[in-house]
Structure 1
C-alpha cells in the first residue's frame, strides 16, 4: 500500500489479485494482506496483535477500518460523501476465473469503449459529485450467484464487468461530458 492510497483502494486491488491466484491458504492470504499495509497502519497493528481466524473475519475487520478511514476522509474534506450507501461488502470471490474486458456502454446508437476496466473507472470517480451509487438489487438474494460479487452494487449476483446498471450510469456520464478522459477514441480501437 503506497503513500496516499486509501485502504479501500488497496483492499480492492488485493482482492482482484487474490481472485486471479490459485491456492486456498487463508493464513497466507491474511499474512500477505497485513504485510502490504504500512507499518504504522492501525489495521496492521490490529491484525498483528489478534490475527483473523478465517477469511470472513479478515474481511469484516478490513471493512471496519475502511469505514473508519471513510469517516476520517469525510471529516477532513468537510464535504458530505453524497449518495454513498454504507459499505458492507468486498470484491472478494471464492476461487474462480476473473475476466476483465474492455466494457462498452450503449448510448443511443453509439457504442463507447473505455480505455480502462470499469472497476478502475469506479475507483477514480466514486467520490465525484456527479457519481451516484445504485439502489439495492431487486429480487431474492438467495437466487443470485453467490460466487460473483459486484463492487458497484456491493452485493452478490454478478461481477462489476457484467453490471449493466454501472455501464448505463457510465454511459450517461460520458453523454454529459464527465468521462471524456476514459473513453477510447474510435480511431484507436484494435480490430482483430
Structure 2
C-alpha cells in the first residue's frame, strides 16, 4: 500500500446526499492511508469537509480544537437528537404508523436533551397551544421549557 500525504484529506467533503456515518467512514479510510495523520489533523479535515450551512458545522467549528473522539461524541449527540427528538415525520401514506420509521433508542429523550440543550443547532419547538394556567403543574417538559406534559412523552 502506498502511503499518502495529509493534503488530500483536506479535499474530502461531505456529499449532499451522504449520511454522516458514511462521511465518517470515508474519512477513516482516507486517514488509514496517510503518514503522520494525528487526531488534530483528522478532526480539522472532518470539520472542513462539512457544508458551512450545516448546523453541525457551526457546532464543531465554534468549539476549540477537538480530538476525533470529542468530534464523534458531538456528532453522535447531534444524530441522536435529530433522529429521536428533533425531527418528526408526518403519518405515512402507506398506512404504516410514522413511528415505525424512527430508530428506536435505549437512551431516554431527557438524557439526550441534557447533552444538547446548549447546542446552536437545537431548535426549540413552538410554544404549546392552550392556556398555560390550565396545564398540569405536575408535569414538566425540558424540551418545551414549560409545564403541561412530561419530557418523556413529548
TM band (smaller chain): 0.3 to 0.5
**Structure having the larger proportion of residues in strand:** 1
Which structure has the larger Rg over C-alpha atoms? 2
TM-score, normalised on structure 1?
A: 0.37
